[in-house]
Amino acid sequence: MTLSPNPPGTNITLQLSCLSGSGSAVFAPDGSTSTNITQSTTVKIKGVTASSVASNMILKAMLGNDMFASNKFSIVNMEMTAYRPQTEGPGYGSPFQKRAITNTLEENPGAGIRVNGDDDNNNSTADSSDTSVSGENDLIEVELKAEPASGIKYVLKRSSSNIKVWNSQTKGTALLDSGTEAEISFSASTKTVWVENPSGGSADLEFIVRSGETDVCSDKVHFYPFTSIVIALGGETQDPSDPSDNGTFQLATNLYQQGYDVHMYDEDDVDYGGAGATYNEVVNSIQHRSVSQVAIFGFSHGGGSTYLLADLLNTHRDTIGTFTIPFTAYIDAVEDTFMGDMNQEHRRPTSSAYHVNYYQEGSVADGWLDGGPIDYPPGADYEINVDYPTPTETHLTIDNETTVLDGIETRLTPRINR
């Protein structure tokens, strides 16, 4: 609406109101629903609550009691929220709970997504080539919020074919498979879609409100394929959980929220030869999910298992595929090569490019349980005896020590690509 009061000085009243259903708007910045103009002016209108139906709001121009111009409009409330991946799922809570990616992180670094080349339904076909995958856990959940649900054109647009959008966690119907965009219909104010990365590469997904040919507003999430896997191994009887009382898993959860593909395990998931569920997950990620970097850290026997896992990965390197281990860390690591092994873990994880080692000196208080310096070549890259010169920690407290957890995190993040 363009108004030019003539002669200048003529008082025109602008009013905002809702014609039907619900919705409210005010003039910015004063927050009122009515304002006066006496000359050609640009006014700003701020939506307060979304329209329950399209075009139910009206801006009226009044000369006295007479309306001489009006314009209908809608107040749109739209948002796109992506979540961190399911791990080890399907479903959240095993162990990571469902966590939304905050607006400050959704474009940079964005949402991490696994390349879907594995075979979650064990049908000998890569999941990326299946149209329905029972047990699928590699698609990223995205929630679209759209108010009003109808009468407005909503569009999903991808920047490249590196991602696909499905209507179900198990794939099902493709909403955005060919082309760069697709109109999305809503039967309610929210809709959940699932993003897949079939074969790598990054892409942006944009949720757009479109009027005619004009994109009125949009929300964007950047999707990047995980190229690393981070393994966190707790100590004896420390079961992975989120939230957790155990520092190893708190650190893991922190990294998960920063967009790493983190997997938490009980140290028993690494057997005395290094094999087991943890090893299988790493191998699977290298062979089928384009992962090329492995980071491992662990506490107590989880530190001993860190060594065993790295060693087995290195032993079978030729068969597994191409990968590096740019980072490993021990927290008071105890060897785990046989049941009840109480020996300090002195061995540097095989083929680790950078190893961090925190340990304390045991005493009767902790049954003489402790880690020790790395003396098997070539030593650690960063090593701290937290009990030197003053004994401050026991084996039961060191894994919750903030400086230890921060020390590992600050050294892992520059060395591991997401």
Partner 1 sequence: MFKIYTNIKCTRLSSVMPLFFLFTTAVVVLAVAQEVNISIQPNKEIQSLLKGLLSTNEHEMLSGTEEAFRGKLEQLRKLAKTDTEIVSQLIYFSIYAKGMKESMLPGVIIEQMKIPDSTFAEVGLPLLDSKDESMRKIAAKWLTRADHVSKGGVDFSRYESILREKKDNPPQGLIRYMYNRNPQTAVATVARVYGKDVPESEITTKAKSGVKESVEYFSGRSEWWAHLYVATMMEKEPYLRTPELIKKLEQDTDPLVREKVSKMKFNLKPSK
Q: Of 151, 243, 273, 373, which one interacts with partner 1 (CB under 8 A)?
A: 273
215 versus 366: smaller Cβ distance to partner 1:
366
Phi-psi group of 409: left, alpha or beta (phi > 0 → left; psi -120 to 50 → alpha; rest → beta): alpha
As a whole number of angstroms, the distance between CA 395 and CA 331 comes to 9
Does 340 sit near partner 1 (CB under 8 A)? yes
Could you say which of 129, 134, 160, 211 contacts partner 1 (CB under 8 A)? 134
Segment contacting partner 1 by CB under 8 A, of 20-28, 50-58, 231-239, 249-257: 231-239
Report if residue 402 touches partner 1, rule: CB under 8 A.
Answer: no
Distance CA 299, CA 306 (A): 9
Contact call for residue 376 and partner 1 (CB under 8 A) = no
By CB under 8 A, name the one of 216, 396, 413, 415 that touches partner 1. 396
Single residue of 99, 220, 316, 415 touching partner 1 by CB under 8 A = 316
Interface with partner 1, residue 397, by CB under 8 A: yes
Answer for which of 173, 280, 403, 417 binds partner 1 (CB under 8 A) is 280
CA distance 384 to 388: 8
3-state secondary structure 373-396: CCCECCCCCEEEECCCCCCCCCCC
Query: Pick from 367, 373, 391, 414: which binds partner 1 (CB under 8 A)?
Result: 367
- DSSP code of 197? B
Site residues for partner 1, 86-125, by CB under 8 A, read 90, 120-124
Nearest CA-CA partner of 330 in 404, 278, 416: 404
Q: How many residues are given for the chain?
A: 418
Residues numbered 33-72 forming contacts with partner 1, rule: CB under 8 A: none
Q: How far is the CB of 272 from partner 1 (least distance, A)?
A: 6
Q: How far is the CB of 122 from partner 1 (least distance, A)?
A: 5
CA–CA gap between residue 19 and residue 4 (Å, rounded): 26
Residue 30 engages partner 1 in binding (rule: CB under 8 A) = no
> Is residue 365 a contact residue for partner 1 (CB under 8 A)?
yes
Q: How many residues bind partner 1 (CB under 8 A)?
A: 40
Closer CB to partner 1, 209 or 264, in the complex: 264
The one among 41, 237, 392, 410 contacting partner 1 by CB under 8 A: 237
What's the DSSP call for residue 29?
Answer: T
C-beta of residue 50 within 8 angstroms of C-beta of residue 77? yes
Among 74, 238, 248, 357, contact with partner 1 (rule: CB under 8 A)? 238
Q: Is 366 in the site for partner 1 (CB under 8 A)?
A: yes
The Cα 407–Cα 330 span in angstroms is: 11
Identify the residue whose tokens are 């690591």. 333
**Closest distance between partner 1 and the C-beta of residue 134, in Å?**
4
Helices (H), 221-300: 247-257, 277-288
Q: What is the 3-state secondary structure (H, E, C) of 157-188?
A: EECCCCCEEEEECCEEEEEECCCCEEEECCCC
Three-class SS state of 120: coil
Which tokens in the block code for residue 31? 């927050």
C-alpha 295/C-alpha 75 separation (Å) is 47
Stretch that binds partner 1, among 53-61, 139-147, 314-322, 350-358 (CB under 8 A): 314-322
Residue placing its CB nearer to partner 1 in the complex, 106 or 399: 399
Give me the residues that bind partner 1 (CB under 8 A), please: 90, 120-124, 134-135, 235-238, 272-273, 275, 280, 283-284, 287, 300, 316, 318-320, 337-342, 364-369, 394-397
